[in-house]
Structure 1
């Protein structure tokens, strides 16, 4: 049995669900979804919770989307010529500039947890996609050990909770594409759920 497998056996099912959602949102913001991704999203199961309703809305939006169309939208939103419509970085949302103190603070936290920058990635580590995937890894023990709830809460408050909700609201407000707007609404609701849950642990 691998070390990672043994770690995951002690993770509560609801925390696995949280990690999956963090990872899913991160992947949607890291790159445009492939045809296989869209097929999976179109078949998402939902429930009567707030998050379930937004997953259903995303599934509906995916029904009318194509990989080619979403690739163009992703380029316009996050890359552009010089810069995209949105700048999904913690430093930018918190200070108005890139590569500022929030990024340095994040790098210090990454070092403490043993989180290393992926090879070949040129984006600053405070990109929203990277942060979503870091939370996934902390919950699932992908950086050597499962982060305690207090460690997760601290990481969320210090590096995500102060700005991610604003980013997702901006994404939800875009007029150019219903799929990414639905990702924005899903992210907005998820960040609020996480913030409320962490507040209850203080």
Structure 2
């Protein structure tokens, strides 16, 4: 049995579900969904929980849009000509500028966990998608070992909790794209759930 398989055996179903949600949000914000991604999203089934209903809205919005349209929406929202409607980086959300102290602090935390910037990625590491994927990796043990709940809490509090909820709330309120508004609403709800759970963890 591989070390990774052994580590995943240590993860509770609840934590596995959390990792899936972090990974899902990271994927949705890393790039616009492809045709294959949209096929999967359109097949999602919703339940009557708050998170399930929001996933249902993402699925419904995916049925009403083509990949080429979402690529344009993604560009308008996050890239733009010079800059998009949103600048989805922690430093920018917290200070109004890129490459500021929050990014330096994140890089120090990444080094402590053995997290390295992916090859070919030139943008700062405090992009919201990268942070969601880092949390996924910490929960699943993809950086060497499964992070303890206290370690997860420290990382979340230091680098995500102070701004990601605001980002997702703003994205949910944007009228640019029904799909990305739905992604924002899901992210806002999930960040609130995570913040509450970490606040209760002692």
- Normalising by the smaller structure, the TM-score range is over 0.9
Query: Displacement of 1:186 after TM fit?
Result: 0.4
Question: How far is 1:152 from its partner?
Answer: 0.4
State the Cα distance separating 1:127 from its structure 2 match: 0.2
Q: Which residue of 2 aligns with 1:123?
A: 123
Counterpart mapping for 1:1-202 below 5 A: 1-202=1-202
| Alignment coverage as a number of residue pairs | 202
Deviations 1:144-186 (A, max 9, x none): 0000000001100000000000100111111121000000000
Structure 1 unaligned regions, length at least 5: none
Between the aligned partners of 1:187 and 1:102, the Cα distance in structure 2 is 21
C-alpha RMSD of matched pairs (Å)? 0.7
| Structure 2 Cα separation of the partners of residues 65 and 26 of structure 1 | 20
How far, CA to CA, are the matches of 2:63 and 2:164 in structure 1? 27
TM, length-normalised to structure 2? 0.98
Shift, 1:75, TM fit: 0.7
Question: Equivalents in 1 of 2:36, 2:99: separation in Å?
Answer: 34
